[in-house]
Amino acid sequence: MPSLNGSDPGLDLVALRRRLAGTRGRDYWRSLEEAAGHPEFARLMSEEFPAAEGWSDASIDRRRLLQVMAACVALASVSGCGPEKTRKQLLPYIREPEGMVPAVPRFYATAATLGGFAEGVLVKHYQARPIKIEGNPDHPASLGATSHWSQALILSLYDPERSQMPLQRGVPASEQAFVSALFERRSELLRTHGRGLRILTGSVTSPTFAAQMAALLRTFPEARWHQWEAISREAVADGTTRAFGRPLDAVLHVDKADVLLAVGSDLLSWAPGHLRYARDFAAKRRATETGGRMSRVYAIEATPTLAGSVADHRLVLPPDDIMTALGSLAMAVKAAPEGFAPAPSPWLAAVARDLVAHRGAALVHVGPELPAEAHVLVHAINEALGARGHTLDMIEPVAVGAVNQLGSLGELARDMNAGAVDTLLILDVNPAFTAPADLEFAGALAKVPFAVHLGPYVDETASRCVWHLPATHDLEAWSDALAYDGTASIIQPQVRPLYLGRSAHEIVDLLQGSISPDGMALVQNTWRGRAPAGAPFDGFWRAALRRGVVPGTAAKPVDVPLRGDAAAQVKLPAGAPRETLTVLFRPDDGLWDGRFADNGYLQELPRWHTKLVWDNAALIAPRTAERLKLRGDDMVEIAQGGRTVQMPVWILPAQAENCLTLPLGFGRRVAGNVGHGTGFDLYPLRTSDTVWRAAGVSVKPTGRRYHLVSSQHEQTMAGRDMVISAPLDQFAHDPDFLHKMDRRDPEAPTRSIYPSYDYPRYAWAMAVNLNSCVGCGACVVACAAENNTPVVGKEEADRGRLMHWLRIDRYYSGEPDAPGTYFQPVPCMHCEDAPCEVVCPVQATMHDSDGLNVMVYNRCVGTRFCSNNCPYKVRRFNFFGFTRHDPRLPDAWNPDVTVRDRGVMEKCTYCIQRIREAEIAADREDRRVREGEVKTACQAACPTQAIVFGDMNDKQSAVAARKASPLDYQLLAELNTRPRTTYEAHLRNVNPELEEE
């Protein structure tokens, strides 16, 4: 029976003791301190030690408190041993919740947010216990897909290291104590009309929160609301404002773009709506499904992005040259006057011609890392290309008051230092870690007498504020949020807060004087006003909750004319001298701005291009490394304007010369056991005027070395056909070219000596389209979340023991300066003549009559011959009891999948649990499984529909169609293993003018 069902679960002392059992010395106390967070301790202490009553709000000697707690644990261990361990017990409900069927999952819609923007998700429940995140097909920003960040949500929901009780100056305190303190402040503030009251949040799209803030500012006219997102989209907003005269957001229609130019673009990686854009993008790249037509994609960038890596032509330029290039391009497409910029290079000229030739079907996208000028130029270019109304629309800004965040944060810091701020509410942001270094934000915090931090973890900011309150997890509280196109979603809690948690809404409501804030009421109030008049609100509300989107809230395009002088007003930079180095700050592929540092899945997700895990590094171009005499793993000191950081370098192909890319988010100083001590903190180098890039940087080797761990050690295909790539023309001329290049050894027999199987009922198979895959890694995390694969940590990863069932191989071809990049997801191939099956002495890996190569964990004795004999090396071995040492709560595992123990082999099963569930449901009704009833976790998460899964015996199925494609090929076909997983060859839609490049 799920312990979360009903009221607050209470601290499991048995579990705590188990945790403590393994720990010694410092760790013991550390674990205790974690536990200190839990309200249960307050109760327990008052029971066991009446004397300790009221300690928590007095500032008491910490050691003493810990001693007392140690005693509590000891006592608990005396009282905690009962018969329940000896026999397996069954606990019935008292009253069964309506419609609750044991062991049958239910799905509830909600939304996950990143940088304020919503991505619709469905949460899978077992007996009221969230188990897995899926995309919401009805949500425009998801269409059923999810990002790897959303997939990792479940892990963080159950993270035992989440903040678990309020802290006053670092000492556990009761929430009542805080509330009374807050009310005291409030009465004070009411007198002063809120002078000295400041609220700091991240970017906000929540209508409810916006309304609350508006109300709050009415109550406290002199209060101020500041916003800060470390991964700032300010250049976008600023550029748009300058181009159109007022703030607007662009909504792209990538599905209409036949020619796409991505300039330092985050289109496919983290732009609001990136999942949707990736979906539309991929749909235009699958030549076999579009009648041989394919969009052509160009990219100009200084450091590899996903968009750039899948582009047909990529031009690698240093940042300054990119501006100039945009200028030339603007000129070439008549968006800027002659002489506005140097004449375009042949490459640019060709691109310009191609863009102009596809007027109305062309689109240029530029990422937030380029300055506002770039955005102005691109708006002008798009206008000149007639993109508006076709490949993009302008809408009213989605985020609330998200202009000039940097300025407002600076102002806040100044006022704090000046002592003008006496009450500061920091809601779910971590400025002490992410604020620009020149603001000295952490220091300034000390000057605020009543600084309150609301956050899911005790982080850098929490530890510097007078008060810290545990924030509810995204899946624990009521809220609402808008998607990139303005579509609203209601965020409904999936579970009662596991720990004492408050949402930002509730805190603001408290400040408004409400005694018992009620998140649901707040959100409902917002939507009462907006619900269609006449119809009963209740119906509207339930519908919105069920679908996960509020119908008809997508923003309408607005027709604001572009300012005529938009392009002309732009000042192009004078090209900086070649030899000076530039650094580019980027969010980390996994940790984003650092907020996900405590999530093992994301720490261990191999980074898109470097394939690094558990670390960040200064990414540097091969030539530059050569010039600076640097090798990978060399520790360097990066200095700029008197600020320095030390970190290792990593040589990265397709990186622009003379600029280093620094992924932010690592090097967290105050974090849990997972996030602590991984990578290097780069914020100290990042100031208000160098948020995205800093020029004039000096890099000098320290002589020391560091050990970075990557999940892939060979960068090329070593002359083998792992990814088969060909120009679109070749496919056009001869669709069958692939089968003509015979990769099988003519001598080799085509049949196995063993009798072949026949598959009377189903023949499950997978097809991966390499023209769609953009390498984002959502599938990797989805697989881990679905299949209970453990997180192994840096050391084990370094020893070649990553447990990912699905990996994304990344290969380079050609010149290291501007190479071709190929992504290839590799799950188990489920060979029909599987080499692994014949060598297992105990029948632990077998063929089943659906053609699956199944793994029976409990039969495995661990000879590991199957892995040696697997040419695709997709098998993973539990060298240690990884799952035994996994800190996650028992509730966090997927009950449909066996949790593997030490010494057994495991691998991708095509999500056998989902297949069986569907087959059983079908068999109950005496029918066949229908197309689409089984989706593997990776397939469901994939934003680009690169992965298709289904029954080959059903000739109508999508997978059968893919297998019939002339581009379909088997990996290592020459081995005659007859894999069930096949790939669609990669095509490049090259521009003949640029062919010779």
Q: Scanning residues 911 to 970, which ones bind another protein (CB under 8 A)?
A: 912-913, 916, 920, 923-924, 926
Among 701, 865, 886, 966, binds another protein (CB under 8 A): 865
Binding another protein by CB under 8 A: which of 740, 841, 955, 992? Answer: 841
Nearest-approach distance from CB 772 to another protein, in angstroms: 19
User: Residue 736 or 925: which CB sits closer to another protein?
Assistant: 925
In the range 216-275, which residues lie near another protein by CB under 8 A?
Answer: none
Q: Which stretch binds another protein (CB under 8 A): 25-33, 341-349, 588-596, 877-885?
A: 877-885
Q: How far apart are CA 856 and CA 907, in angstroms?
A: 10
Nearest to 875 by CA among 824, 823, 840, 913: 840
Task: Kindly state whether residue 720 participates in binding another protein, applying the rule CB under 8 A.
Answer: yes
CB of 9 to another protein, least distance (A): 15
Q: For residues 1-60, which are near another protein according to CB under 8 A?
A: 1
Using the rule CB under 8 A, is 842 a contact of another protein? yes
Residue 512 binds another protein (CB under 8 A): no
Applying the rule CB under 8 A, the residues between 58 and 87 that interact with another protein are 84, 87
In 92-240, beta strands by DSSP E: 106-114, 117-126, 129-135, 167-168, 171-172, 197-201, 224-227
Given candidates 559, 629, 718, 956, which one binds another protein under the rule CB under 8 A? 718
Query: Please, which of residues 105-124 interact with another protein by CB under 8 A?
Result: none
Build a one-symbol-per-residue string for 969-988: x at contacts with another protein by CB under 8 A, - elsewhere. ---x--x-------------
Q: Which of 176, 525, 716, 730 binds another protein (CB under 8 A)?
A: 716
Q: Angle at Cα 595 formed by Cα 11 and Cα 796, nearest 5°?
A: 80
Side chain identity at 331, as an amino acid letter?
Answer: M
CB of 60 to another protein, least distance (A): 35
Between 341 and 840, CB nearer to another protein: 840
Nearer to another protein, 975 or 990 (CB): 975
- Nearest-approach distance from CB 809 to another protein, in angstroms: 4
Tell me: does residue 867 bind another protein (CB under 8 A).
Answer: yes
Burial class from Cβ neighbours inside 10 Å (0-12, 13-18, 19+) for residue 288 reads buried
Pairing of strands 450-455, 423-427: parallel
Q: What is the DSSP letter of 588?
A: B
Stretch in the footprint of another protein (CB under 8 A) among 71-79, 93-101, 219-227, 524-532: 93-101
Q: Is 277 in the site for another protein (CB under 8 A)?
A: no
Measured from the CB of residue 24, what is the shortest distance to another protein in angstroms? 17
Pair of tokens at residue 441: 């934000």
Which CB, 485 or 896, lies closer to another protein?
896
Determine, following the binding rule CB under 8 A, whether residue 746 of this chain makes contact with another protein: no
**What is the rounded (10 degree) CA torsion for 390, 396, 402, 404?**
80
- Among residues 628, 816, 879, 889, the one that binds another protein under rule CB under 8 A: 879
Asked if residue 807 binds another protein (CB under 8 A), the reply is yes
Q: How far is the CB of 828 from another protein (least distance, A)?
A: 13
Among 799, 890, 932, 964, binds another protein (CB under 8 A): 799
Q: Which two tokens stand for residue 798?
A: 């370094």
Binder to another protein among 337, 443, 800, 932 (CB under 8 A)? 800
**Sign of the C-alpha dihedral computed for residues 605, 608, 611 and 614 taken in this order:** negative
Q: Of 102, 346, 389, 577, which lies in the binding site for another protein, with binding defined by CB under 8 A?
A: 102
Q: Between residue 340 and residue 359, which ones bind another protein under the rule CB under 8 A?
A: none
Q: What is the rounded (10 degree) CA torsion for 591, 592, 596, 597?
A: 40
* Contacts of residue 763, Cβ cutoff 8 Å, sequence gap at least 6: 850, 851, 951, 952, 953, 980
Which of 876, 888, 962, 986 touches another protein (CB under 8 A)?
Answer: 876
- State both tokens at 73: 């644990």
Nearer to another protein among residue 101 and residue 533 (C-beta): 101
User: Pairing relation of β-strands 167-168 and 171-172?
Assistant: antiparallel
CA distances from 609 to 151, 588, 598 (A): 20, 11, 22
Under 8 Å between Cβ of 508 and 216? yes
The distance of closest approach from Cβ of residue 957 to another protein in the complex, given in angstroms and rounded to an integer, is 19
Pairing of strands 467-470, 167-168: antiparallel
Q: Which of 949, 941, 946 is CA-nearest to residue 766?
A: 949
Interface mask (CB under 8 A) for another protein, residues 758-787, using x and -? --xx--------------------------
CA 879, CA 705: separation in Å to the nearest integer?
Answer: 28
Under rule CB under 8 A, residue 835 binds another protein? yes
Candidate ranges 100-108, 200-208, 437-445, 509-517; the one touching another protein (CB under 8 A)? 100-108
Of 344 and 606, CB closest to another protein:
606
Pairing of strands 659-663, 981-984: unpaired
**Secondary structure of 529-574 in HEC code, one letter for each residue:** HHCCCCCCHHHHHHHHHHHCCCCCCCCCCCCCCCCCCCCCCCCCCC
Residue 403: half-sphere exposure toward Cβ, Cα within 13 Å:
12
Query: Of the candidates 905, 947, 948, 960, which one interacts with another protein according to CB under 8 A?
Result: 905
Please select the residue that binds another protein; options are 266, 809, 891, 951, rule is CB under 8 A. 809
What sign for the dihedral angle of Cα 722, 727, 728, 734?
negative
What are the φ and ψ backbone dihedral angles of 595, each rounded to 5 degrees? -70, -20
Q: In the complex, what is the shortest distance from the CB of residue 98 to another protein, in angstroms, rounded to a whole number? A: 12
C-alpha 764/C-alpha 961 separation (Å) is 13
The vertex-934 CA angle with 930 and 939, nearest 5°, equals 130
Minimum Å gap between C-beta 3 and another protein is: 12
68 in Cβ contact with 52 (< 8 Å): yes
Q: Pick from 171, 732, 854, 973 the residue near another protein by CB under 8 A.
A: 854
CB of 906 to another protein, least distance (A): 11
CB 465 within 8 A of CB 438: no
User: Smaller CB distance to another protein: residue 59 or 849?
Assistant: 849
Closest to another protein by CB, 275 vs 938, is 938
Question: Between 312 and 796, whose beta carbon lies closer to another protein?
Answer: 796
Segment 882-901, which members bind another protein (CB under 8 A)?
A: 896-899
**Residue 682 · residue 616 · CB < 8 Å:** yes
What is the size of the binding site for another protein (CB under 8 A)?
93
604 contributes a contact to another protein by CB under 8 A = no
Q: Which of 66/975 has CB closer to another protein? A: 975
**Sheet (strand 224-227) strand order:** 171-172, 167-168, 467-470, 450-455, 423-427, 197-201, 224-227
Nearest distance, CB of residue 144 and another protein, angstroms:
24
Residue nearer to another protein on the CB measure, 540 or 757: 757
| CA 985 to chain CA centroid, nearest Å | 28
